[in-house]
């Protein structure tokens, strides 16, 4: 392992000169030498969302290496960077233009002639002509003195008829009847202790707890509940443990509102809340490949999901940038695939610096997380993204590529040859072993296999794949596909591959993988591209519609069960506004909390199509999440807005009410914007 010096005496600043300025659009990187020694025989490596793509040209230096957003630049031959001086290298003609301060390089280092890496301090990318202060941290939603409702509950329940006002009790003295009620109490106690450790929400009568009886009753839908208030105590009922837990969460929220904001909210003396969710699937997807989140972070995040009555955690465990789940049969997947760093098979990407960074979830950690989720009414759906998005997997198991493959194709994120090969028996052997291990770990009957963003040119240089394509579709299709080799696509968004040779090969692959999963009693989850070729069994699949609501409706019309998660509103890596000063991406659009809240996920759907609607989901892709203050700003309160869309009947939604209540909802890292 090479030494990594940590004293950052070199400084990197990056600039974006947008269209309309005096020069043509330019992405400039300026390195300054703040040491007292000249710097020579060096290169500069950077990573961060911005990619120097093949359409770009470089001035002031040479681009030595590029892997997605990792780039290595060399200064001109013989160049010496003297103390106090700067060197600028520029990229022109980039097909993606940075639009937000998190778009540019957010890590950098200098590599010296002995291969030592020296960290460089990096300032956020500035856009020329824009001096607005850069924002991070969640926007604060102050609780108003007068709110449109008297009790604080998010997502808003479907029937609230409460009256009277009690002095807010100090806490809740929970008195379960029966085993399921006792389990709901245990889960609620752990939940509130985790989220609000010093509030003592659950407390015995001796400490001022107000009596709450809790019992199972017949006649409720699976997640439905009823909370009945009286001056002597509260009764919570439901037909399941989760229903009871949800009743307690509603009660806990009412208690917090009344205790923390007594001028605005009350604790009722009479009346009841009768509640059930509008949609079965109220999901959150988290990409842990682009950035790693430790078990502690995942567990706390799950608590926040439960507090929002969100019930599906779609865990994106692999991608080009990393593989995050321990697989006994293939230890290389995590030994190699879970780590990035200078000199490793996966270089620093997306803001990870020269040091070794990353991690993976051991099987023990996953079991703990899955059990915690189950206790909170959350089903965990694992995703292994295949056959595309497999760069990390292929570093660990190169056998999944045709050894005779020549040339290259690039994914939309700029990874070369990142697809495992559908024409190899080895591919299925390895995947089936991996899926068997996942099935053993995850009780969910849904295994998500990704299937998104396979490039148009995938496998066009693989003799094995071309032979297979010839067998399925004939010589002409195979020849047309072979002609795609080395043709650069994907420079203005993900390729549409429907009808192409890549789609035919992917369809073959998916049909086979799905048949395997079905033989294990599992439903195949996939992004909407899994429908290409119309080969997967609709009765045993669930698709995630990330493009438009119309495209999701059309797939529902074809008979696919759908979860709706359109990128332009439900992708929480998209910025809150178009401003440069906002963090996040905006290739799919942008949405502030109100836009997300008021968005109708089934606009224009027919009744027949709605029969195939399972629910809604927000997706947290992690490319811009190098900074946890960015995470909080992007995810909250939009996560709660999605939760209310999933839970509350459309006619009962009100953004004005949501705005007044959402300030009481917890956020993951507790980082708020400076006021
Ligand atoms: C598209 S939409 C992706 C992800 C990226 C995301 C960034 C889809 C299924 N794939 O690989 O992380 O955009 O917004």
Closest by CA to 666, choosing from 187, 157, 247, 195, is 195
Whether the CB-CB separation of 326 and 362 falls below 8 Å is answered with yes
Contacting residues for 30 by C-beta, under 8 A, at least 6 apart: 12, 13, 14, 15, 86, 87, 88
Q: Is the CB of 385 under 6 A from ligand 1?
A: no
Whether the CB-CB separation of 449 and 530 falls below 8 Å is answered with yes
Q: 214 pairs with which residues across the strands?
A: 176, 236
Across 521-530, average pLDDT = 97
Q: Is the CB of 452 under 6 A from ligand 1?
A: yes
Nearest CA to ligand 1 atom 7: 621
- What the block records as the tokens of 62 is 């040479």
| pLDDT of 259 strictly over 70 | yes
Across 536-549, average pLDDT = 96
Across 113-138, average pLDDT = 94
Q: Which has more pLDDT, 181 or 23?
A: 181
Q: Is the CB of 276 under 6 A from ligand 1?
A: no
How many beta carbons lie within 10 A of that of residue 73, not counting itself?
24
- What the block records as the tokens of 617 is 């989901």
pLDDT of residue 8: 52
Locus of tokens 């994914």: 411
Phi, psi of 112, rounded to the nearest 5 degrees:
-90, 175
Distance CA 641, CA 284 (A): 12
pLDDT of residue 7: 54
* pLDDT band for position 4 (cuts 50, 70, 90): low
Q: Is the CB of 415 under 6 A from ligand 1?
A: no
Nearest CA to ligand 1 atom 2: 546
Closest by CA to 373, choosing from 630, 224, 187, 597, is 187
Distance CA 411, CA 432 (A): 25
Which atom of ligand 1 lies closest to the CA of 587?
14
Contacting residues for 471 by C-beta, under 8 A, at least 6 apart: none
pLDDT of residue 533: 86
CATH among 3.30.1240.10, 3.40.640.10, 1.10.579.10, 2.60.40.290 for 4-127: 2.60.40.290
Q: Is the CB of 546 under 6 A from ligand 1?
A: yes
pLDDT of residue 34: 96
Whether the CB-CB separation of 230 and 210 falls below 8 Å is answered with no
* pLDDT band for position 52 (cuts 50, 70, 90): very high
pLDDT of residue 1: 46
- Cα of 625 vs centre of ligand 1, distance in Å, is 14
Contacting residues for 523 by C-beta, under 8 A, at least 6 apart: 445, 446, 447, 517, 540, 541, 542
Instruction: List, in sequence order, every beta strand (DSSP E) within 82-208.
Output: 86-92, 107-111, 117-122, 126-127, 159-163, 171-177
- Tens digits of per-residue pLDDT, 221-249? 999 999 999 999 999 999 999 999 999 99
Is the torsion defined by CA of 11, 68, 528, 536 positive or negative? Answer: negative
pLDDT of residue 96: 86
Distance CA 563, CA 572 (A): 16
* Class of domain 159-275 (CATH, top level): alpha beta
Which atom of ligand 1 lies closest to the CA of 573?
14
SS3 670: coil
Q: Is the CB of 585 under 6 A from ligand 1?
A: yes
Average pLDDT, the chain: 96
Which atom of ligand 1 lies closest to the CA of 546?
2
Whether the CB-CB separation of 337 and 410 falls below 8 Å is answered with no
- Cα of 621 vs centre of ligand 1, distance in Å, is 7
Whether the CB-CB separation of 457 and 502 falls below 8 Å is answered with yes
Distance CA 573, CA 586 (A): 8
- What the block records as the tokens of 470 is 């010839």
Across 431-438, average pLDDT = 98
| pLDDT of 295 strictly over 90 | yes
Between 27-31, 96-100, 307-311, the lowest mean confidence (pLDDT) is in 96-100
3-state SS track over 3-16: CEEEEEEEEEEEEE
- Tens digits of per-residue pLDDT, 354-385? 999 999 999 999 999 999 999 999 999 999 99
Whether the CB-CB separation of 489 and 456 falls below 8 Å is answered with yes
Provide long-range contacts, Cβ within 8 A and 24+ apart, for 241-244: 241/180, 241/181, 241/183, 241/184, 241/187, 241/377, 242/184, 242/311, 242/377, 244/180, 244/181, 244/184, 244/214, 244/216
Across 303-323, average pLDDT = 99
SS3 95: coil
Phi, psi of 510, rounded to the nearest 5 degrees:
-65, -40
Across 266-292, average pLDDT = 98
Distance CA 425, CA 312 (A): 33
* pLDDT band for position 462 (cuts 50, 70, 90): very high
Q: 80 pairs with which residues across the strands?
A: 40
Distance CA 46, CA 106 (A): 8
Across 607-615, average pLDDT = 98
- Cα of 643 vs centre of ligand 1, distance in Å, is 21
Nearest CA to ligand 1 atom 5: 621
pLDDT of residue 21: 77
Between 49-53, 435-439, 492-496, the lowest mean confidence (pLDDT) is in 492-496
The residue extents of the domains of the chain are: 4-127, 159-275
* pLDDT band for position 497 (cuts 50, 70, 90): confident
Q: What angle do CA 571, 574, 578 make, to 5 degrees?
A: 145
Across 657-663, average pLDDT = 98
Q: Is the CB of 621 under 6 A from ligand 1?
A: yes
Q: Is the CB of 573 under 6 A from ligand 1?
A: yes
361 alpha carbon, distance to own chain's centre: 16
pLDDT of residue 491: 78
- Tens digits of per-residue pLDDT, 121-130? 999 999 998 9
Please tell me whether the peptide bond between 369 and the residue prior to it is cis, using omega within 30 degrees of 0. Answer: no
């Amino acid at each position: 392992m090479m030494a990594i010096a940590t004293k950052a005496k070199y400084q990197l600043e990056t600039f974006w000169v947008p269209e309309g300025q005096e020069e043509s659009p330019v992405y400039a990187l300026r390195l300054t030498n703040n040491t007292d020694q000249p710097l020579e025989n060096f290169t500069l490596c950077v990573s961060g969302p911005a990619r120097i793509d093949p359409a770009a040209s470089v001035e002031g230096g040479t681009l030595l290496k590029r892997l997605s957003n990792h780039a290595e630049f060399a200064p001109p031959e013989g160049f010496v960077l003297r103390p106090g001086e700067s060197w600028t290298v520029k990229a022109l003609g980039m097909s993606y233009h940075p639009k937000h301060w998190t778009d540019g390089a957010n890590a950098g280092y200098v590599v010296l002639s002995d291969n030592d890496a020296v960290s460089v301090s990096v300032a956020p990318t500035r856009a020329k002509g824009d001096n607005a202060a850069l924002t991070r941290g969640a926007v604060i939603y102050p609780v108003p003195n007068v709110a449109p409702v008297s009790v604080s509950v998010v997502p808003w329940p479907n029937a609230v008829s409460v009256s009277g006002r009690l002095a807010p009790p100090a806490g809740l003295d929970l008195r379960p009847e029966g085993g399921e009620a006792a389990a709901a109490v245990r889960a609620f106690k752990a939940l509130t202790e985790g989220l609000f450790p010093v509030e003592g929400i659950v407390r015995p009568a001796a400490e001022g707890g107000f009596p709450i009886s809790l019992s199972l009753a017949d006649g409720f839908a699976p997640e439905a509940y009823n909370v009945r208030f009286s001056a002597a105590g509260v009764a919570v009922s439901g037909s399941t443990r989760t229903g009871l837990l949800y009743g307690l969460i509603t009660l806990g929220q009412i208690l917090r509102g009344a205790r923390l904001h007594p001028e605005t909210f009350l604790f009722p003396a009479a009346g009841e809340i009768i509640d059930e969710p509008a949609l079965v699937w109220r999901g959150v997807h988290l990409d842990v490949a682009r950035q790693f989140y430790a078990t502690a972070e995942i567990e706390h995040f799950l608590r926040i999901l439960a507090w929002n009555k969100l019930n599906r955690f779609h865990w994106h465990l692999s991608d080009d940038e990393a593989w995050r789940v321990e697989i006994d049969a293939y230890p290389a997947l995590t030994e190699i695939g879970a780590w990035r760093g200078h000199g490793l098979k996966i270089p620093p990407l997306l803001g990870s610096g020269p040091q070794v960074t990353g991690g993976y979830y051991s099987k023990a950690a996953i079991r703990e997380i899955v059990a915690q989720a189950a206790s909170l009414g959350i089903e965990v759906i694992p995703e292994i993204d295949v056959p595309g998005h497999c760069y990390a997997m292929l570093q660990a198991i190169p056998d999944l590529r045709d050894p005779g493959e020549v040339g290259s194709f690039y994914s939309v994120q700029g990874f070369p040859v990142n697809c495992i090969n559908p024409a190899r028996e080895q591919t299925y052997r390895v995947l089936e072993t991996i899926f068997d291990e996942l099935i053993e770990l995850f009780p969910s009957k849904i295994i998500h296999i990704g299937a998104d963003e396979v490039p148009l040119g995938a496998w066009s240089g693989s003799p094995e794949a071309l032979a297979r394509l010839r067998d399925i579709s004939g010589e002409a299709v195979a020849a047309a596909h072979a002609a795609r080799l080395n043709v650069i696509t994907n420079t203005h968004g993900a390729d549409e591959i429907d009808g192409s040779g890549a789609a035919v090969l992917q369809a073959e692959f998916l049909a086979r993988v799905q048949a395997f999963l079905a033989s294990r009693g599992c439903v195949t989850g996939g992004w909407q591209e899994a429908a290409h070729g119309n080969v997967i069994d609709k009765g045993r699949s669930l698709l995630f519609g990330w493009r438009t609501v119309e495209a999701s409706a059309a797939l529902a019309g074809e008979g696919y069960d759908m979860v709706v998660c359109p990128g332009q509103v439900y992708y929480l890596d998209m910025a809150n506004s178009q401003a440069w000063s906002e963090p996040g991406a905006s290739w799919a659009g942008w949405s502030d909390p109100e836009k997300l809240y008021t968005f109708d996920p089934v606009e224009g759907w027919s009744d027949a199509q709605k029969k195939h609607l399972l629910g809604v989901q927000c997706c947290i892709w992690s490319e811009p999440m190098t900074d946890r203050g960015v995470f909080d700003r992007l995810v909250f309160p939009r996560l709660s807005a999605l939760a209310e869309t999933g839970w509350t009947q459309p006619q009962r939604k009100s953004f004005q009410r949501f705005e007044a209540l959402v300030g009481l909802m917890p956020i993951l890292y507790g980082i708020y914007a400076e006021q």
